[in-house]
Structure 1
Amino acid sequence: MASSQIMKLESDVHMKASAEKVHDVYCSRTHHIANICPEKVQGVEIHEGEWGTEGSIICWNYVNDGKKCVVKEVIESVDNENNKVTFRVLEGYLLKDYMSFKFILHAIPQEKGSIAHWTLEYEKLKDHNLDPHTLLELVSDVSKDVDAHLITQAA
């Protein structure tokens, strides 16, 4: 059994799009992500509630490490003023290795564009379980695809 301690992995992705636009995609237009990078994310569906609303439940189908994965998450918090959204995993393969798992995206405005600051917060079920580095890489890569999409939309 693992010591019950919350661990974090963090990553910054430099974006050309504004923090508001990045936040809007992840918060209110989450379902578009599957259209933006279908090779990474096959589907994002809402199961309860409305896009961009705390308490809403979303199901993600994506590929991580060459494996098809499904995760059901609740939008735990939305901070539109600070362009921050937190997703907490309710069901899915991640809960085989982790007691709890959260994805936190904070889009931080910069002089030019923004930074997508990702935090993965998790509690391992067993000490020897791996840290989710490939998942952090995936969310960073998806952010780059979202950025490229937002830039072409603005052009």
Structure 2
Amino acid sequence: MGRLEVEVEAKSSADKLWEAIKDVTNLLTIFPDRYKSVDLLEGDGKSVGSIILLKYVEATPGLTFLKERIEEANDTNKSLSYSVIDGELLGLYKTFKVSLQVVPKGDGSLVKWSLEFEKASEQIPEPSFVKTFTVQTFEGLDAYIQKP
């Protein structure tokens, strides 16, 4: 098993950022340059067992869609974890599980994000592109929240 971690500082309060992260359907509005569609296949998209289908724009290299299932969702701790259950990534990685937590930090907040993955073979590189994508997503989400 491999693991990647990153922390992203945000100007938005932990409460505001958490609410934005939980509302996965916002991704389409905030990042039309990344997502073609975001569909809830099961559940409300915020609670355990929900299944979300993300379709990416053509400009996203090697990725057309991703289906993820929420494994944990805790409003009190502002934490969430989900597993990729379908999509091109599973051709490269046997498991792909993301965990995140939003914690207050001064007037803003801090997103603690981690990815656990298992490569399908030793030739597969670490998914470091996901780390970059994640940082850009949280920074973009924070900027969106900060808009007047």
TM-score calculated relative to the size of structure 1: 0.88
Q: 1:119 and 2:114 equivalent?
A: yes
SS of residue matched to 1:51: coil
SS of residue matched to 1:34: helix
Q: 1:33 and 2:27 equivalent?
A: yes
Structure 1 pair 145/66, CA: closer, same or farther in 2 (3 Å)? same
Q: 1:49 and 2:74 equivalent?
A: no
- Alignment partners' CA distance in 2, 1:65 and 1:37: 12
- Alignment partners' CA distance in 2, 1:22 and 1:7: 27
Name stretches of at least 5 consecutive residues in structure 1 with no aligned partner.
1-5
Alignment RMSD, CA only? 1.5
Q: Percent identity?
A: 29
8 Å CA contact retained: 2:27, 2:38: yes
8 Å CA contact retained: 1:49, 1:55: yes
2:95 to 96, 100, 105: 100
Question: Post-superposition shift, 1:16?
Answer: 0.7
- Alignment partners' CA distance in 2, 1:33 and 1:148: 13
CA displacement, residues 85-144 of structure 1 (integer Å, 9 cap, x when unaligned): 111111001100111101212111101211111111111111121111111111110111
- Alignment partners' CA distance in 2, 1:67 and 1:147: 27
Q: 1:17 and 2:12 equivalent?
A: yes
- Alignment partners' CA distance in 2, 1:22 and 1:45: 21
Question: Post-superposition shift, 1:19?
Answer: 1.5
Structure 1 pair 68/92, CA: closer, same or farther in 2 (3 Å)? closer
- Alignment partners' CA distance in 2, 1:66 and 1:95: 15
8 Å CA contact retained: 1:40, 1:142: no
TM-score calculated relative to the size of structure 2: 0.92
Name stretches of at least 5 consecutive residues in structure 2 with no aligned partner.
none
